[in-house]
């Protein structure tokens, strides 16, 4: 949690967060990908927990989850791979996934494992707000974990204010109500972004979903502290035989 706060304090704009599915493209690539992302100036990483039914994700991330699961990735194995995470990576790392794997692992065990390996925050799109507030907020915070809430174009101002009040990390502004990886980017969303920006929230915001190139990254940075890129990065890793080169080439395209 503290690394997330520090990242926003030290960099007032242009934050770049990259999403990558754990165990993709190969089972043991996770730490190498994380190391290369930091080496190329990425400010934050969202590490996806592979799941068989990722409802918020488009075909590219769905396929990455399928490949990672076929590779043998599990949540237990992921924590084993991350045991030396903080010897290699210093930037904030968040886990993003769905409730089912966390429930099977056990909420308390999950939070404890996150704390042990140095995870800074959690993004669980299907965790109901009332459940978090009533049952899990104290558990997450006691293990130093920020819970990141998603905001969509349909989220009311009243709910955004409530999310802002509960936030201890940042608010994730979903660019549209579709799944990830749409081809048409984030054009036509300025009114929504401006509405949120005008609310002068206490929490910083990052814009994600369908950020795919330098143009969409710059648009996101205009209305928030930065951008989150997932599908486009995973696509760049697809079939890669040289992770270092693939990461370097992709970040150059964005920045």
| Catalytic residue ranges | 46, 57
Query: What is the residue-wise DSSP string for 108-152?
Result: HHHHHHHHHHT--EEE-TTS-HHHIIIIIHHHHHHTT-EEPEEE-
List residues bridging with 228 in a β-sheet: 17
Distance between CA atoms of 255 and 39, rounded to whole angstroms?
A: 14
Distance between CA atoms of 73 and 167, rounded to whole angstroms?
A: 30
Q: Give which of 143, 160, 120 is closest to 8, Cα–Cα.
A: 120
Distance between CA atoms of 142 and 76, rounded to whole angstroms?
A: 21
Report the C-alpha dihedral over residues 84, 88, 92, 96, rounded to 10 degrees.
Answer: -60
For tokens 């800074």, the residue is 120
Residues 234, 21 contacting (CB under 8 angstroms): yes
Residue 210 Rama label (left phi>0; alpha psi -120 to 50; beta): left
Distance between CA atoms of 194 and 213, rounded to whole angstroms?
A: 21
State whether residue 173 is helix, strand or coil.
strand
What is the bridge-based pairing of β-strands 171-174 and 149-151? parallel
């Amino acid at each position: 949690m503290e690394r997330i706060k520090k990242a926003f304090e030290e960099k007032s704009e242009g934050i770049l967060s990259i999403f990558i599915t754990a165990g993709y493209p190969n089972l043991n690539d996770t730490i190498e990908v994380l190391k290369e992302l930091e080496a190329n100036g990425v400010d934050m990483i969202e590490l996806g927990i592979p799941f068989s039914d990722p409802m918020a994700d488009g075909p590219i991330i769905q396929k990455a989850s399928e490949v990672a699961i076929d590779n043998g990735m599990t949540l237990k194995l992921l924590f084993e791979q991350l045991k030396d995470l903080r010897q290699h990576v210093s930037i904030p790392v968040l886990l993003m996934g769905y409730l089912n794997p966390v429930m099977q692992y056990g909420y308390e065990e999950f939070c404890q494992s996150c704390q042990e390996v140095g995870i800074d925050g959690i993004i669980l799109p299907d965790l109901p707000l009332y459940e978090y507030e009533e049952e899990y907020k104290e558990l997450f915070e006691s293990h130093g974990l920020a819970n990141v809430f998603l905001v969509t174009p349909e989220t009311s101002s009243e709910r955004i204010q409530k999310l802002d009040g509960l936030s201890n990390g940042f608010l994730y502004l979903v660019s549209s109500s579709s799944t990830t990886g749409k081809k048409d980017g984030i054009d036509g969303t300025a009114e929504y972004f401006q509405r949120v920006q005008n609310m002068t929230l206490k929490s910083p915001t990052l814009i994600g979903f369908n950020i795919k190139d330098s143009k969409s990254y710059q648009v996101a940075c205009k209305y928030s502290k930065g951008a989150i890129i997932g599908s486009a990065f995973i696509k760049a890793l697809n079939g890669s035989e040289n992770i270092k080169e693939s990461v370097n080439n992709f970040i150059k395209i964005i920045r």
